[in-house]
Amino acid sequence: MTLQFSTVTHRGRITIVTLSRPEVMNALHSDAHFELHQVFNEFANDPEQWVAIVTGAGDKAFCAGNDLKWQAAGGRRGWDSSGFAGLTARFDCDKPIIAAVNGVAMGGGFEAALACDLIVASENAVFALPEPRVGLAALAGGLHRLPRQIGLKRAMGMILTGRNVTAREGFELGFVNEVAPAGEALAAAARWAETICKNSPMSIRASKQAIQRGSMVSLQEAIGDQRDYPAVRAMVASQDYIEGPKAFAEKRAPRWVGK
């Protein structure tokens, strides 16, 4: 696939997706959304890739959100079934995705980061859902994910004011996992990804799926049903399920095959 608005590189088991529209602070338009839909589909379907990192080109912005100038000029709007940046409505990917936020993450950019499993932010990162300032609302998941991740009152404080939040405050609020020095968000995210890759990918996928599905039902139902979740069943039937205990008993590092 020929990419126009993003780049994809691989570091072993890790896929790095870079939003690449630096001339507009990596703001995204319809064509970019459809491209990223395919990019993350390929990651999800590639058995050799276990973790993805998404970041922005340059050192100023992760993603400034929706390309309002494109919209105002009458540009085509919309995205595929996976939502903004190919992420905000992607509910069927059991592989971990990490946001390496290297600058501004506004509106849809913040919503895309919230849709990731981890957020690593550089010290110069700034987060906001400023849609009300331009007569819009954060309907790509921000209005629902942010309250679930940091609590209702804190989220309301951000959403109703549209105020900017620094990386340090994001860490204190709980939606940022680590604050890295300026320019080092990607390196820090790669360290997280490499640590994840030391674990069984089957166990990681089972854990993510159980968390996601379990969060939508009661605790009793989640615990009662989890062994029937597809990724959990796949884990139990996998070679990794045998390799892990065997490696522990033999006092050696496990050799994961991911199936």
Which residues are annotated as catalytic?
Answer: 111, 131
Q: Is the CB of residue 122 less than 8 Å from the CB of residue 102?
A: yes
Residue type, 81: S
Distance between CA atoms of residues 56 and 60, nearest Å: 8
HSE, side-chain direction, 13 A CA sphere, residue 31: 12
In angstroms, how far is the first alpha carbon of the chain from the final one? 27
Q: Angle of helix 142-150 relative to helix 108-115, nearest 10 degrees?
A: 50
Distance CA 245, CA 247 (A): 5
Residues 6+ apart with CB under 8 A from 184: 122
Q: Is 58 left (phi over 0), alpha (psi -120 to 50) or beta?
A: left
Q: Cα dihedral sign for 188, 189, 194, 198?
A: positive
Question: Does residue 40 contact residue 82 with C-beta atoms inside 8 Å?
Answer: yes
Q: In the structure encoding, which two tokens stand for residue 247, read together?
A: 């490696």
Neighbours of 30 (CB within 10 A): 17
List the structure tokens of 100: 């390496």
